[in-house]
Structure 1
């Protein structure tokens, strides 16, 4: 009996040592990853790690983490500042937002337009919604109203009364009335920067409108990979529309259709 007890103790001890070793390796890998990200942050798209505040902004020198409310106010303020006197709402207070964050959100990266803000949102359980006569689901209708509330003179399409049954890619959210296209034409640097103002606003407000996917300017963000931030979007390199260069595509969560689990 004493021999068996000793064996149990040895196994437990070996298990403890192994667990400590694994944790140590993970800690080293985490530190190395953080160091690599810090050194190469100007070469990668904004990400939002699975820990800490929901949102982050790359200022070119560092990654600044923001709580969700800060990100919503910052992205809204950037849109208001950019719109000037035509802005349909007043600028929210951003005294707690670093100046360098507001500068990059308003002006965009110095040399080229592109993503600066990313937020983590994993989606949530929602009920399936049928299209209304407008061609949109109630969730998509709420999102459209939210965009029009904060952005003046928007050109929003991607839906038609009665809904689409052709003209979009296979399994497109447009066929279910869950998607909007906000157009920024022609394709040029100024319109790219305007498009990113909306894209950042959308990603910051994703939980409010139960947003699932955002695509713009060769980049995609989705709830499927919430911490990876903006990823490269593969499309025909010669097709501005498929690359979403002239419009911001956004769709809302679908929810299981009755009978999906049958």
Structure 2
């Protein structure tokens, strides 16, 4: 009899703990979602990408984010009949118009560093093969672009200390002069790069005083710590910076 009451007490305790947990989740979940939206993150238990529209937050798979950013970019660059079927209308509009001036980036994705990547040497263009792959992928979607940050033989100055530009891992895509239209065009590319970061082994995307980093990607985009916030070049307001993962020896 004593053993029976002991088991019954354990069952009651477990039931009470489960009930308390359920109540806590119900009460805390809205706060977590609100915090996630404020931080502009993709929550760990949701699909890996999110788009913040004027109507709310839309979760996307990585493939959906890649398809949406590609279709919108092709559409914006005059491609004939880009396939936009099945893409949420609010997502399409926000990606097309870019984030409002008083808001953060519209799209973010979680990604992880690709373990086992080998360190690469400069090619003839001054880029590593991984960086060259990013350049080719951008050209396929965005057409001819104003590029810089690399040159045959590599660059040795003009960038910050330990810059990925010196390793041939970085490309700058210029949108000059700084204007609302060029800001919109820059975000078309920046969002596309983040959506494709896992596929292209991208490490960092910087634009409009914001940075996305593969290791910090669960937290979304972050404010960029510019050495001179008033300088359009150093704050990356006139160009999108993208660099690829370094790899190991």
TM-score of the aligned structures, taking structure 1 as reference length = 0.82
Which of these residues, 169, 173, 178, is aligned with residue 164 of structure 2? 173
The answer on 1:108 being equivalent to 2:106 is no
- Residue 77 of structure 2: aligned partner: 83
Unaligned 5+ runs, structure 1 = 1-8
The structural deviation recorded for 1:115 is 1.5
User: More deviation in 158-167 or 178-187?
Assistant: 158-167
Does the C-alpha gap of structure 1 residues 169 and 21 become closer, same or farther in structure 2, counting only changes over 3 Å? farther
The structural deviation recorded for 1:93 is 2.6
Which of these residues, 220, 223, 238, is aligned with residue 230 of structure 2? 238
Count of matched residue positions in the alignment of Structure 1 and Structure 2: 245
The structural deviation recorded for 1:20 is 6.1
SS at match of 2:218: coil
SS at match of 1:193: helix
The answer on 1:34 being equivalent to 2:32 is yes
CA displacement 1:75-117 (0-9 Å, x = unmatched): 0111122122xx4xx5543322211110111112456585111
- Residue 251 of structure 1: aligned partner: 243
Which of these residues, 152, 171, 178, is aligned with residue 161 of structure 1? 152
CA displacement 1:189-246 (0-9 Å, x = unmatched): 1100000000011011112211110000010001111211111111111211110001
Which of these residues, 131, 135, 139, is aligned with residue 148 of structure 1? 139
- Residue 65 of structure 1: aligned partner: 59
> What is the RMSD of the two structures over their aligned residues, measured on CA atoms?
3.0
Unaligned 5+ runs, structure 2 = 1-6
Q: Does structure 1 retain, via aligned residues, the 8 Å contact 2:204–2:213?
A: yes
Q: Does structure 1 retain, via aligned residues, the 8 Å contact 2:75–2:82?
A: no
TM-score of the aligned structures, taking structure 2 as reference length = 0.86
- Residue 6 of structure 1: aligned partner: none
The structural deviation recorded for 1:47 is 1.6
Q: Does structure 1 retain, via aligned residues, the 8 Å contact 2:202–2:245?
A: yes
